[in-house]
Amino acid sequence: MGCPRFDYHIHTKYLGCANETMEVPDIIAECKRLGVSSLAITDHLNRPEQLERHVLIRRDLEKLETDLEVYFGVELNFTGPDAGFVFSPEIKEELGFQLAIGGIHGTYLTEYDLDKLVAIQHRHHLKTCENPLVDVLVHPYWFGKGEFERNGWPWFDSMKAVPESYRRELGRTAAETGTAIEINACANLVNPAYGEEYVREYVEFLSVLAEEGATFSVGSDAHDINRLGTIHAAWDVVERLGLPPERIWRPACEPLVASPGY
**Tens of pLDDT, residues 117-163:** 999 999 999 999 999 999 999 999 999 999 999 999 999 999 999 99
Cβ pair 41, 61 in contact under 8 A: yes
The whole-number average pLDDT for the span 228-255 is: 97
Give the pTM: 0.97
CA distances from residue 112 to 148, 154, 156, 225 in whole angstroms, order as listed: 9, 8, 11, 35
52 burial via Cβ count (<10 Å: 0-12, 13-18, 19+): exposed
pLDDT digits (tens, 9 = 90+) for 180-216: 999 999 999 999 999 999 999 999 999 999 999 999 9
Residue 143 C-alpha from the chain's centroid: 13
pLDDT digits (tens, 9 = 90+) for 136-149: 999 999 999 999 99
Confidence of residue 8 (pLDDT cuts 50, 70, 90): very high
pLDDT in the model for residue 183: 98
Could you tell me which of 71, 72, 129 has the C-alpha nearest to residue 102? 129
CA torsion sign, 113 to 114 to 118 to 121?
positive
Percent of the chain with pLDDT over 90: 96
pLDDT digits (tens, 9 = 90+) for 82-103: 999 999 999 999 999 999 999 9
CA torsion sign, 46 to 51 to 53 to 58?
positive
CA distances from residue 196 to 190, 193, 237, 239 in whole angstroms, order as listed: 9, 10, 14, 18
pLDDT in the model for residue 1: 59
Cβ pair 256, 71 in contact under 8 A: yes
pLDDT digits (tens, 9 = 90+) for 24-81: 999 999 999 999 999 999 999 999 999 999 999 999 999 999 999 999 999 999 999 9
pLDDT at 259 exceeding the cut of 90: no
pLDDT at 261 exceeding the cut of 90: no
